[in-house]
Amino acid sequence: MASFNASLTRRQTIRSLASGGLILPGLLAEMLHGAPNNDSGNPLAAKNPHFAPKAKRVIFLFMTGGVSHIDTFDPKPFLRKKHGQKHSEGNFYKGSDWDFKRYGQSGIPISSLFPHLGTVADDLCVVRSMKNINGDHFGATIGIHTGSGTFNRPSIGSWVSYGLGTENLNLPSFMVVAPELPYAGGQVFGSDFLPVSHQGTRIVPGIEPIPNMHRRSATSSLQETELDMVEYFNRQHLRGRENDSNLKARIKSFETAFGMQMQAPELFDFSTESDATLQLYGLERGSKDGFGWQCLVARRMAERGVRFIELIDGGTRIDYNWDTHSHMSTYNRLAKNVDQPIAALIKDLKSRGMFDDTLIVWTTEFGRPPFVPDPTAEGRGHHAKVYSSWLAGAGVKGGMTYGESDEMGDEVAENVVTVHDFQATILHLLGFDHTRLTYRHAGRDYRLTDVHGRVVKPLLS
């Protein structure tokens, strides 16, 4: 018997087995007669929704930390008048530090923090009556992403991937561009009980956005040969374990990884983008980070068939997100980072004929209260009772606001929109009845909206 060499690498072992004829007969048999079909179908294959969709894809812009509605999209003149005065409950009124201006033919009022967004005001549908299910960052963040403020559940991107698959099998159906993780970490793009192939693939801006993105083999044909042999072993291992969705997804990940090595380098190569496009996003040629980079990558992902693209602004580091307990003045920097790129994304999609079938969602986990415990306080606390979000693009009525908060921005005054309503509306635009997009787990059918949610029809064009 030949001696075993412990120094052999996995690649050398596979080559040795192949050249020695130990696996070649089985491999040739599969090539001649076809591999046994143990797979019930590619989990990422493109699927049809319940009815004709308005949107083919979603670009989900998440601002970490809780953006103050009364300083951005929900002007409160009453608060400005009452600023510094004591409220009957013992707190003090705090007005906004920024002026509001009406933009576009629609006259939507937008804070001076976002002058570039003002130029696309007629494309925005601003919801001023959002209400989350939890008042802490962790619970509110997973609430807007998963529909649950307490338990692990699949993210909205995973549900969309599960329902629609991808139009490009060389790229994941759900991709997340996140320089830093938000509150709740990877749960915001986790698949939980859905097959793991629907989990979001995280992209980190920089020289190598995806680890091992470039091929290591000398030639693509050599790598394909090696992967064919790995696939052969995988199929042998899968026999008798056909119902193990995690194993199937793990095996599928090899194919996806190979496809990404073929296409991902080109995805992140901006050399073909014109100077005018880079200037639109506020990017210098050769730049590898910043929110402008994130937005341009999102457009390129959308062009290449990715179904759900999430861009996360900010992480858990203080002063690098919208969690401004101490200094509202940080909004000047935070807004400047995202204002031009987001407006550029809308304009770029429109110029390429993609705006009408791309749904853009801008949201955060909650708002900020109109009261402070001290009249000299420079920041604001958490406020889940009411806040603002907006939609634009496919199937959405642009140039309008929906819902109202009271004169102080403290409570919803009319047309409350819960996170489940928001999610149901997004799914509707993608062609789904949110009550029918379900997955059987632990003896019952689960859905993104749990047992709640309604489509907010006044938002729809």
Residue-wise pLDDT tens digits, 424-446: 999 999 999 999 999 999 999 99
pLDDT of residue 88: 83
Specify the range with the lowest mean pLDDT, choosing from 49-58, 72-81, 229-238, 294-303: 229-238
The segment with the largest mean pLDDT, out of 17-26, 204-213, 229-238, is 204-213
Q: How far is CA 309 from CA 141, 214, 453, in A?
A: 17, 22, 23
As a whole number, mean pLDDT of residues 31-52 equals 69
228 part of a folded domain = no
Spatial distance between the Cα atoms of 232 and 220, rounded to a whole number of angstroms = 18
**CATH at residue 64:** 3.40.720.10
As a whole number, mean pLDDT of residues 30-34 equals 44
387 part of a folded domain = yes
pLDDT of residue 387: 98
Domain that includes residue 63, residue range: 57-209+274-459
Percent helix, strand and coil across the chain, each to the nearest 5: 35, 15, 45
Supply the mean pLDDT for the chain. 87
26 part of a folded domain = no
As a whole number, mean pLDDT of residues 144-155 equals 95
Spatial distance between the Cα atoms of 122 and 87, rounded to a whole number of angstroms = 36
279 part of a folded domain = yes
Share of the chain above pLDDT 70, in %: 80
227 part of a folded domain = no
**Total domains in the fold of the chain:** 1
Residue-wise pLDDT tens digits, 47-98: 999 999 999 999 999 999 999 999 999 999 999 999 999 998 889 999 999 9
24 part of a folded domain = no
pTM: 0.85
As a whole number, mean pLDDT of residues 207-236 equals 64
pLDDT of residue 6: 47
pLDDT of residue 316: 86
Paired tokens of 64: 């970490």
13 pLDDT more than 70: no
The better pLDDT of the pair 226, 413 is held by 413
Res. 213 pLDDT band, cuts 50 70 90: low
Residue-wise pLDDT tens digits, 159-182: 999 999 998 888 999 999 999 999
The better pLDDT of the pair 85, 27 is held by 85
Residues listed for the chain: 461
Res. 34 pLDDT band, cuts 50 70 90: very low
Res. 318 pLDDT band, cuts 50 70 90: confident
Res. 29 pLDDT band, cuts 50 70 90: very low
284 part of a folded domain = yes
Residue tagged 């192939």 (tokens): 197
The better pLDDT of the pair 24, 301 is held by 301
pLDDT of residue 39: 41
Contacts 24+ apart (CB under 8 A), 283-289: 288/205, 288/206, 288/207, 289/179, 289/205, 289/206
pLDDT of residue 423: 98
pLDDT of residue 263: 75
7 part of a folded domain = no
